[in-house]
């Protein structure tokens, strides 16, 4: 059952080959066995999970009435600890929220609960989703299941490690500048960031509101399609949620790739990419040509400005969003203080980690009087140029492909002393968020070095092209087996 797809798990549950309680117990036992080594989960509640599994078994048996049962009913799921879940501790990987218990469900959590999925627990993450390595969590770093001396990527590293180690069949993540795709690449998974606004941000603790987007992380594109069917949809509680007709994102999975035009940005294939990553990506592109696709070079001339633009816009929005954590209403409050201002200062100084403080300081600076026009406004203009570059490129191709990350998973501490080098880990993913486009990463091989670590291929589509991207990924996964590989130590 560990390597079964969500479709196969659904069939096994429907045919009574296994019960949801048995399936949930299998994964809870694996969490108990492997999580002390990986630190992928912050919170696990066996009793709550088994109660939900028992309720799912009742629905599957028809005891709950004649209503149609979701194909995801009874399947276990892990949530990134950025999504509020009623009665569950929701920490955002921070001391600031270390003891916060959410009083309501995020929209995404509501949707999966309604589908009958069983929540196993909450996954570790970079503090307030700020990081590319999962080293900034207050609860300690997450280890990569392929090599526990290496990072799993971030900020959704706990979700990625949990699925890669088969501690959960699937998980949710969030992507602000690559935080689903980059850890998916480093852990050998499929991860999808939908078009901005397709998945509601209600109940998802905010980092950068114009960039944050929730999405699925799983073994395959088919699994991600089923998960996106459940988690997408209009939510009036989120002003950025898009009111669109309901889609079946699995509808085009079997479509032929004959005639597909793949755009290869010149800017993505220059210097800075590791040789092992380049070889795996080029081999994947050769496979796509065998499947009937053609490749064409395209230009994204402003993509080299995406990292500096992002690290103006995202910290500015973070500075605003995190101002609510002041020690007054909820969250960490300093034990000793002289007056109200001292309480604010000490509570925030104690509650936030170094990376969060760094971004708050940068954000406050670029929004301050005299610097707004010089930095923030200019970054927003660059953002518009980046979106225009993608629009022009998609006139010449159907999807864009390239590496998800410039390297495979790196050792702990390798980049933590140099924030700029850490930020460059997202050099291929950030532009997609700035443009609000959908993007995904799929496993496409290994770097053939020691240790042999996974490589991710990034697929980017025009706005609302998720079904097409999932088709492109699925046909590749039918022809290859990279997405089925499992870390040896986790077997």
Domains and CATH numbers, the chain: 6-260+465-490 (3.90.1300.10)
Question: What confidence tens digit (pLDDT) does each residue in 8-27 have?
Answer: 999 999 999 999 999 999 99
* Predicted pLDDT at 491: 87
Catalytic positions: 80, 155, 179
Tell which residue, 145, 400, 69, has the closest CA to residue 267.
400
Residue 271 has pLDDT above 80, yes or no: yes
CB 59 within 8 A of CB 69: yes
* Predicted pLDDT at 144: 98
- Mean pLDDT, the chain, integer: 96
Residue 66 has pLDDT above 70, yes or no: no
Average pLDDT over residues 220-247: 97
The pTM of the full predicted model, rounded to 2 decimals, is 0.96
* Predicted pLDDT at 270: 86
| Residue 211 vs residues 202, 272, 310, 316, 404: alpha-carbon distances, Å | 14, 25, 9, 12, 18
In the chain, % of residues over pLDDT 90: 94
Least confident span in 49-63, 83-97, 162-176: 49-63
Question: What confidence tens digit (pLDDT) does each residue in 387-445 have?
Answer: 999 999 999 999 999 999 999 999 999 998 888 899 989 999 999 999 999 999 999 99
User: What are phi and psi for residue 51, nearest 5 degrees?
Assistant: -65, -45
Least confident span in 110-119, 285-294, 446-455: 446-455
* Predicted pLDDT at 209: 97
| Residue 401 vs residues 220, 256, 290, 362, 465: alpha-carbon distances, Å | 17, 18, 16, 32, 14
Residue 164 has pLDDT above 90, yes or no: yes
Distance separating alpha carbons of residues 442 and 454, to the nearest angstrom: 10
Distance separating alpha carbons of residues 188 and 451, to the nearest angstrom: 14
CB 199 within 8 A of CB 213: yes
Residue 368 has pLDDT above 80, yes or no: yes
Angle between helices 6-14 and 20-38 (to 10 degrees): 140
Least confident span in 36-50, 89-103, 111-125, 414-428: 414-428
Comparison of pLDDT for 63 and 11, the residue scoring more: 11
* Predicted pLDDT at 65: 52
* Predicted pLDDT at 477: 98
* Predicted pLDDT at 420: 86
Distance separating alpha carbons of residues 435 and 391, to the nearest angstrom: 9
Average pLDDT over residues 76-80: 98
In the chain, % of residues over pLDDT 70: 99
Residue 314 has pLDDT above 80, yes or no: yes
pLDDT band for position 67 (cuts 50, 70, 90): low
* Predicted pLDDT at 272: 87
pLDDT band for position 275 (cuts 50, 70, 90): very high
Residue 484 has pLDDT above 80, yes or no: yes
Report CA torsion sign: 180, 183, 186, 191.
negative
User: Residue-wise over 385-399: b if at least 16 C-beta within 10 A, else e?
Assistant: ebbebbeebbeebbb
Report CA torsion sign: 402, 443, 395, 179.
negative
User: What are phi and psi for residue 144, nearest 5 degrees?
Assistant: -75, 125
Tell which residue, 151, 147, 159, has the closest CA to residue 121.
159
* Predicted pLDDT at 133: 97
Average pLDDT over residues 196-206: 98
Question: What confidence tens digit (pLDDT) does each residue in 321-363 have?
Answer: 999 999 998 899 999 999 999 999 999 999 999 999 999 999 9
């Amino acid at each position: 059952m560990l390597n079964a797809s969500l479709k196969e798990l659904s069939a096994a549950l429907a045919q009574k080959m296994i019960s949801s309680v048995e399936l949930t117990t299998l994964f809870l036992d694996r969490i108990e066995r492997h999580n002390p080594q990986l630190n992928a989960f912050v919170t696990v509640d066996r009793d709550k999970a088994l109660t939900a599994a028992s309720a799912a078994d009742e629905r599957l048996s028809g005891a709950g009435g004649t209503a149609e049962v979701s194909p995801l009913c009874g399947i276990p799921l892990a949530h990134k600890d950025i999504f509020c879940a009623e009665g569950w501790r929701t920490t955002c990987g921070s001391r600031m929220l270390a003891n916060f218990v959410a009083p309501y469900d995020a929209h995404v959590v509501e949707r999966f609960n309604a589908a009958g999925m069983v929540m196993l627990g909450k996954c570790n993450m970079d503090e307030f989703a700020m990081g590319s390595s999962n080293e900034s969590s207050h609860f300690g770093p997450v280890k990569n299941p392929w090599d526990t001396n290496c990072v799993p990527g971030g900020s959704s590293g706990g979700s990625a490690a949990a699925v890669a180690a088969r501690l959960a069949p699937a998980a949710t993540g969030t992507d602000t500048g690559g935080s689903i795709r980059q850890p998916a690449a480093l852990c050998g998974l499929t991860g999808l960031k939908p078009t901005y606004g397709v998945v509601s941000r209600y109940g998802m603790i905010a980092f950068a509101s114009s960039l944050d987007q929730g999405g699925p992380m799983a073994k395959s594109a088919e699994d991600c399609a089923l998960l996106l069917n459940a988690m997408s949809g209009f939510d009036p509680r989120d002003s950025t949620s898009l009111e669109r007709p309901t889609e079946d994102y699995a509808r085009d999975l079997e479509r032929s790739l004959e005639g597909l035009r793949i755009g290869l940005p010149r800017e993505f294939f220059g210097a800075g990419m590791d040789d092992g990553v380049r070889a795996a990506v080029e081999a994947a592109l050769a496979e796509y040509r065998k499947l009937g696709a053609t490749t064409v070079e395209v230009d994204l001339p402003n993509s080299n400005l995406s990292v500096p633009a992002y690290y103006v816009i995202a910290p500015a929005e973070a500075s605003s969003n995190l101002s609510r954590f002041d020690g007054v209403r909820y969250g960490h409050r300093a034990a000793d203080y002289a007056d109200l201002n001292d309480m604010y200062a000490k509570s925030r100084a104690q509650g936030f980690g170094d990376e969060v403080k760094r971004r708050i300081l940068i954000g406050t600076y670029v929004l301050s009087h005299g610097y707004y026009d010089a930095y923030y406004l200019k970054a927003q203009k660059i953002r518009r140029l980046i979106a225009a570059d993608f629009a022009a490129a998609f006139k010449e191709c159907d999807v864009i492909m390239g590496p998800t990350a410039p390297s495979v998973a790196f050792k702990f501490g390798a980049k933590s002393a140099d924030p700029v080098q850490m930020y460059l880990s997202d050099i291929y993913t950030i532009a997609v968020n700035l443009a609000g486009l959908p993007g995904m990463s799929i496993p496409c091989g290994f770097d053939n070095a020691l240790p042999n670590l996974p490589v991710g291929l990034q697929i980017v589509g025009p706005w609302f092209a998720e079904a097409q991207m999932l088709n492109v990924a699925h046909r590749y996964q039918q022809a290859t087996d990279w997405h089925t590989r499992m870390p040896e130590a986790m077997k």
